[in-house]
Amino acid sequence: MRDVTILGIESSCDETAAAIVRNGQQVLSNLIYSQIDIHRQFGGVVPEVASRKHVETIALVVDQAFKEAALNYSDIDAVAVTNRPGLIGALLVGLSFAKAFAYALGKPLIAVNHLQGHIYSNFLEHPEIEFPAVCLVVSGGHTSLLLMTSPGDYEEIGSTRDDAAGEAFDKVARFLGLGYPGGPAVQKAAEKGQAGVITLPRVFLDRNDYEFSFSGLKTAAMNQWRKIEQGQPGTVYDMAAEFQAALVEVLVEKTISAANQYSARNILIAGGVAANQELRNLMKKRGKEIGVSVYYPSLQLCTDNAAMIAGNAYYSYQKGDFSPLDINAHASLMSW
């Protein structure tokens, strides 16, 4: 079978990314232009600013991806692009560029679900993953537990009722004055503190299902911090450590329970919060205790990137599952 080389484009939030991947595994280039420094001053992503920056940088990032891969535009077999979910303006920039690029080259277009791309990041580095697998998707906008019986076959068995895990990290970090993005800021502060000095609830941990809720945990953290400011024992570092521990414990125990119920061969973690070291360590520890291997992407593949989009599109290319040039972008997940 001949090689298949796919250009991937990702612009769902505040990273403009382009990558070229061969046969769904070999990453020839993976370029990311991050806007974190721009949005840090606002304490979060400003959609209009993100969209405008994508317009300014996308052509340059794509061109650099080809240079790094030492390929010409005509050397690719397809163009893959994120079309959902995400910030609608940001998505439209990447989708419009990809449509024009594919049309000009006479190559097929493949629209990719951003979250499925995050899941595929695991397969870029761990082709040995076996099924059935339970996958925990944790990001700024989504927290879900999925059962996977084969690549591309997803059944959602649980999700958050309110805030996503990454969203909770961002809101608490902002309230505590720790900075943006919240996940890394809380993790860094937690390293200097001790969980247990302050007590926060493990929300929904006592329920016999795979649903999550982090809004109440966020509110409890804010209320406890006000008490500390009024003289109750504790530091911002202790608060960060307890908040991280409370959130991670629920994520891990729900995932382990699902792995047991569905006789999973493997556990996968995907999304930006998969970079959290406490989550990685505890999931590995608990997975080992029940005899299930745990996989997560390297740190560079946890953040939004285009290698995961191009890699995921390889399955669609093999099946001839191409997208029409009038396909639209969608802010919501719609379906798995």
Reading the chain (336 residues) residue by residue, the pLDDT tens digits are 799 999 999 999 999 999 999 999 999 999 999 988 889 888 888 989 999 999 999 999 999 999 999 999 999 999 999 999 999 999 999 999 999 999 999 999 999 999 999 999 999 999 999 999 999 999 988 999 999 999 889 999 999 999 999 999 999 999 999 999 999 999 999 999 999 999 999 999 999 999 999 999 999 999 999 999 999 889 999 999 999 999 999 999 999 999 999 999 999 999 999 999 999 999 999 999 999 999 999 999 999 999 999 999 999 999 999 999 999 999 998 788
Dihedral angle of Cα 167, 171, 176, 180, to the nearest 10 degrees: 70
Q: What is the pLDDT of residue 255?
A: 98
d(CA 254, CA 274) in angstroms, rounded, equals: 15
User: What pLDDT was estimated at residue 243?
Assistant: 98
| pLDDT, position 6 | 98
Q: Phi/psi of residue 153, each to 5°?
A: -110, 105
CA–CA dist 277, 186 (Å, integer)? 11
Report the pLDDT value the prediction gives residue 138, as an integer from 0 to 100.
97
- Residue 308: the pLDDT is 98
Which structure tokens are listed for 239?
A: 């608060």
Domain with CATH 3.30.420.40 in the chain: 5-119+302-319, 131-264
CB-based contact 237:189 (threshold 8 Å): yes
Q: Let me know how many helices (H) and strands (E) the chain has, helices first.
A: 11, 10
First and final C-alpha spacing in the chain: 29
Superfamily of chain region 5-119+302-319: ATPase, nucleotide binding domain (3.30.420.40)
| pTM greater than the 0.75 cutoff | yes
SS3 136: strand
> How far apart, in Å, are the Cα atoms of 249 and each of 203, 212, 242, 277?
10, 12, 10, 13
What would the two tokens of residue 30 be?
């993976």
Query: Is the peptide bond prior to 132 cis by the omega test (within 30 degrees of 0)?
Result: yes
DSSP structural state of residue 293: E
Residue owning tokens 């317009």? 55
Strands (E), the chain: 5-10, 15-22, 26-34, 78-84, 109-113, 133-138, 143-150, 153-159, 266-270, 293-295
- Superfamily of domain 131-264 in the CATH hierarchy: ATPase, nucleotide binding domain (3.30.420.40)
State the pLDDT at residue 92.
98
